[in-house]
Amino acid sequence: MPPSFDPDAALMLRVKQGDTVAFAELVEKYKQPVMNLAYRTLRDATEAEDLAQNVFVQVYKSAARYQTTAKFSTWLFTIARNLCLNEIRRRSRHPAESLDAPHPEQEDQPLQQFEDKKTFSPPESLLQGELEQKIERALAELPENQRSALLLCRQDELSYEEIAEVLGCSLSATKSLIHRGRETLKERLKAYLRSGEWKSPE
């Protein structure tokens, strides 16, 4: 996307000049999707927050290298995913139990209690909570590339071509990752998907 049509690229041009107001604007806009990706990759709220913060610091430090020919969000999510992968590698080298990670005896507990802004009647709320828990677990058990592909696809921010760029693979490989991830989720959530009982009144 040419920079004239990408408002984020225009903001990045200002960041290149050292404009911290423009930078703060970008952080405000993307903090939630970056946190979502980091949290669902690392499954640890504190580490996800540190990583998301580091993503934006990297963005600021690398602003001079940013090419306006690239869409900002593609560049941002590439940095975010690379840092997530580094963290996964670091964990595999130095395995340590995270305080926030669920213990085997707590398997039925949700990963993290989120504030739910929507209001449900108790049975729907219970069903919704149960489903969230199941889907979070099913997502966590997917291979990293399938999970990242699904999460990036979920955000509607990136096109399939841009997701492929973030993942560093071809368009067909990206679609295949999404398809396989979805098939696994469908299998695990079969009961809910069939009944549709989880749906809340909108």
Please report whether residue 57 would count as binding other proteins according to CB under 8 A. yes
Q: Rule CB under 8 A: which of 111-130 touch other proteins?
A: 112, 114-116
Please report whether residue 48 would count as binding other proteins according to CB under 8 A. yes
Q: What is the residue type of 21?
A: V
d(CA 90, CA 109): 26
Smaller CB distance to other proteins: residue 69 or 171?
171
Which one among 8, 22, 23, 166 touches other proteins, defined by CB under 8 A? 23
d(CA 29, CA 72): 12
Least Å distance between CB 3 and other proteins?
A: 23
Least Å distance between CB 36 and other proteins?
A: 5
Please report whether residue 156 would count as binding other proteins according to CB under 8 A. yes
Smaller CB distance to other proteins: residue 72 or 198?
198
Mask 73-102, x = binds other proteins (CB under 8 A)? Answer: ------------------------------
Please report whether residue 14 would count as binding other proteins according to CB under 8 A. no
- HEC per residue, the chain: CCCCCCHHHHHHHHHHCCCHHHHHHHHHHHHHHHHHHHHHHHCCHHHHHHHHHHHHHHHHHCHHHCCCCCCHHHHHHHHHHHHHHHHHHHHHHCCCCCCCCCCHHHCCCCCCCCCCCCCCCHHHHHHHHHHHHHHHHHHHCCCHHHHHHHHHHHCCCCCHHHHHHHHCCCHHHHHHHHHHHHHHHHHHCHHHHHHCCCCCCC
Which one among 78, 100, 132, 173 touches other proteins, defined by CB under 8 A? 132
Residues contacting 201, CB < 8 A, separation 6+: 124
Smaller CB distance to other proteins: residue 1 or 130?
130
* Number of residues near other proteins (by CB under 8 A): 48
Contact set with other proteins (CB under 8 A): 20, 23-24, 27-28, 31-32, 35-36, 38-40, 45, 48-49, 52-54, 56-57, 60-61, 112, 114-116, 131-132, 135-136, 150, 153-154, 156, 160, 175, 178-179, 182, 185-186, 189, 192-194, 196, 198-199
